[in-house]
């Protein structure tokens, strides 16, 4: 019997992996960028801003919302979406620390390991 070994990793490692997976699709990156470019929540048709169908955009919004990267509040018949800036700042700090650590020990060209 197989089982997920995610419990062998820290919560921070698991969170970074979840966010990286969510951002691995260009449509989700575009949605984050679109929401970041606005000064208020978007309650209109996000699909009108992207070269995707409403159904596809809705699926991507649900993925981002499931990770709490975006938030959506129901306002009548529409949903008002905005970024969870607190979580994005936290993830930014985690990715920055990750890349700093990973790049500080990298082999240089000409090293025996390269």
What does the domain layout of the chain look like in residue ranges? 10-90
Which stretches does DSSP call E strand in the chain? 70-75, 78-83
Per-residue pLDDT of the chain (114 residues; tens, 9 = 90+): 556 777 889 999 999 999 999 999 999 999 999 999 987 778 667 888 899 988 899 899 999 999 999 998 877 777 889 999 999 999 999 999 999 988 887 676 777 665
Question: How much is the pLDDT for 106?
Answer: 61
Question: How much is the pLDDT for 76?
Answer: 73
The architecture of the domain spanning 10-90 is Orthogonal Bundle (1.10)
- Helix, strand or coil, per DSSP, at residue 4: coil
User: Taking CA 57 as the corner, what is the angle to CA 24 and CA 64, rounded to the nearest 5 degrees?
Assistant: 50
- Whole-model pTM: value is 0.81
Question: How much is the pLDDT for 20?
Answer: 95
């Amino acid at each position: 019997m197989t089982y997920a070994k995610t419990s062998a990793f820290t919560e921070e490692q698991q969170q970074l992996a979840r966010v990286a997976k969510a951002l691995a699709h260009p449509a989700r990156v575009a949605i984050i960028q679109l929401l970041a470019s606005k000064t208020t929540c978007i309650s209109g048709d996000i699909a009108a801003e992207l070269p995707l169908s409403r159904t596809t955009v809705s699926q991507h919004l649900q993925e981002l919302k499931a990770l709490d990267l975006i938030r959506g509040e129901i306002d009548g018949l529409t949903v008002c979406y905005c970024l969870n800036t607190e979580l994005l700042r936290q993830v930014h700090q985690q990715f920055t620390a990750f890349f700093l650590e990973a790049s500080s020990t990298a082999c240089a060209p000409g090293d025996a390991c390269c």
